[in-house]
Structure 1
Amino acid sequence: MRRDMKPRLQTFTRTVLLLQVCWLWSGQCLSVHFSNPQSVYVVKGQDLILQAQIKLLEGERVSKVTWERSAKTSGKSSTVAEFPHRVPSDGRVTVEQQGYTLKIRGYQASDGGVYTVTVTDQSGHRRSAQRNVEEYLAVNHVSVMVNVSHSVLHCMEAWGTDPSFTWLYEKVVVTGKVGHVSADGTSLVVSGTFCGHFTCVVRNKLGHSSATYTAEPCESTNRSTSAVIVFLLLLLALVAASLAFLLWRRHWHGHNRRQRLTEPYEEDL
């Protein structure tokens, strides 16, 4: 046997053995999965795109790819598309890349649910993967709850998708002097004086909403400021009065001195 034929024979032998193992284990060599197992959130009116990752051994081929959707409310399952045969005629649903990619134009709330892709190879072996799809919702009904005894405020939002939280104090972003914000942004522990206006702003890519908690007015600060201002005014008035008195006294002494210098001279005349 020639030397260049030996590696080829070894490769062929390994392939045959792998195919036999796969056949004995009911197609274990065929695998289907999604790159990201987390839920997909789609903005209403935009396109939903699901792409499955399929692995095959050399020599294997896919005979059919089926996409199904199970509604969350009813649990009823229906076929969305099949490759290479069945695609709805309304033009909203298309499959690409030999059925591995499903695209639905103009996503609606009714398109949500659990999507299952099932791949069948030439031997009839089937493998499936699932992906949850939901509508991307705007933030709604933001509210602030407070624990006065512990100086803690909690921000809550009803059902918005992927919300982010920001705290403001008197319309300015909270700093360390005011308090500490939790890692998820939902809570604010007030370290300074618990007074004034605290606002929680919740945002996502569809917009924002906010709620404000009004604590007791910061009277102590206002009184201190007023007291300082009054003290400064009194001090300025005292200084002005002292200067006026000194000027008047200087003028009075000068006038008397001139009188004493002129009176003896007038008597001699």
Structure 2
Amino acid sequence: MDPQHILCWRLAPLFLFMPCGFHCVSVHIINEEPVHVIPGSNLVLKAQIKQEPQEEVSMVTWEREPETGAAPVRVTLATCPGRGLGCAGSRPNVHADAEQQETTLQINKYSREDGGVYGVTVTDRTGASTTAHCIVREYEAVHHVSLSINMSHSSLVCGEAWGTDPSFSWLYERAAITRAVGEISKDGSTLVLNMAPICGDFTCVVSNKLGYSSASYSAGPCEKEGRGMMAAVVCLVFLLLLFGGAVAFLLWRRYRNNHRGERLQEHLDDTI
């Protein structure tokens, strides 16, 4: 038999009896990153712990440090010493618990100072540890909505400064967008125009859980068919009135001349 295969067979039993804390215990925060929290609400982070049946968790620690900074200071939020034992929070509004395969951290009445990089460290009975991290930020309201037109692509682009999870909606002349006006992109931020020429008032509304803001763009008034028809009718009526007035004036003048001739003839007859 190949000497390398003999060596592998001799080492295999050793790996079976070695403590697997170095590679068997793992932890993963299941919250989608980054986590945005509305000030005043509760922050809840959950993490899954994976381990072999023979492994035992001896310590779970939750910590936080600033997301930016040259020398970030790490703060311990809660510790859970061993399975089945209670967890101790560093502040009254900090609570934690640890089970065999899950650990949870809850911070009540979240404030801006609670933002940062959160870490959960799981330590096994051999002293080996593994850590998972998650970024937590404040949920921002919608601010500074802007609306611009791209003439080369016949589109309107709506922008928003820093709001969390912005949702876009569009209005044309204070009504919902139809296919005759344009089509909205998948992310909602762009309106590709189908109408020609481009005219009327467009509005982009951006909203999230904390409110909304809007911006408008005016492309000038549209010349509608009804308005042109009305102008034609007014013009026709004016011409008819003008023509009628002219005819009436001519008839009146003719009547006046005829009446004057009759009176003159009567006057001459009386003189003779």
Residue 70 (structure 1) shift: 1.5
- 2:29 is aligned to 34
- 2:110 is aligned to 107
Q: Describe the shift of the 1:124–1:27 C-alpha distance in structure 2 as closer, same or farther (beyond 3 A).
A: same
Q: Describe the shift of the 1:21–1:181 C-alpha distance in structure 2 as closer, same or farther (beyond 3 A).
A: farther
Could you tell me how far apart the structure 1 residues matched to 2:127 and 2:108 are?
A: 31
Note if contact 1:22-1:28 (Cα within 8 Å) is conserved in structure 2: no
- TM-score w.r.t. the length of structure 2 is 0.73
Q: Describe the shift of the 1:164–1:21 C-alpha distance in structure 2 as closer, same or farther (beyond 3 A).
A: farther
Instruction: Report the number of matched residues.
Output: 216
**Letter paired with 2:127:** G
1:55 partnered with 2:41: no
Could you tell me how far apart the structure 2 residues matched to 1:30 and 1:226 are?
A: 76
Alignment of 1:142-153 (within 5 A): 142-153=145-156
Alignment of 1:206-245 (within 5 A): 206-218=210-222, 220-221=223-224, 224-231=225-232, 234=236
- 2:95 is aligned to 94
Candidates 68, 74, 86, aligned match of 1:77? 74
Could you tell me how far apart the structure 1 residues matched to 2:149 and 2:41 are?
A: 39
RMSD: 2.4
Residue 21 (structure 1) shift: 5.2
- 2:162 is aligned to 159
User: In the TM superposition, what whole-angstrom CA distance separates every residue of 1:25-61 from its partner, at most 9, and x where no partner exists?
Assistant: x521111112245211111000001111001211321
1:44 partnered with 2:45: no
Q: Describe the shift of the 1:46–1:19 C-alpha distance in structure 2 as closer, same or farther (beyond 3 A).
A: farther
**Letter paired with 1:82:** T
Could you tell me how far apart the structure 1 residues matched to 2:34 and 2:204 are?
A: 27
Note if contact 2:155-2:192 (Cα within 8 Å) is conserved in structure 1: yes
User: In the TM superposition, what whole-angstrom CA distance separates every residue of 1:195-214 from its partner, at most 9, and x where no partner exists?
Assistant: 11110000111111100011
Q: Describe the shift of the 1:204–1:37 C-alpha distance in structure 2 as closer, same or farther (beyond 3 A).
A: closer
1:185 partnered with 2:188: yes
Note if contact 1:34-1:53 (Cα within 8 Å) is conserved in structure 2: yes
- TM-score w.r.t. the length of structure 1 is 0.73
- 2:124 is aligned to 121
User: In the TM superposition, what whole-angstrom CA distance separates every residue of 1:205-237 from its partner, at most 9, and x where no partner exists?
Assistant: 11111000111211x32xx323323555759x9
Q: Describe the shift of the 1:19–1:67 C-alpha distance in structure 2 as closer, same or farther (beyond 3 A).
A: farther
- 1:172 is aligned to 175
Q: Percent identity?
A: 46
- 1:241 is aligned to none
- 1:202 is aligned to 206
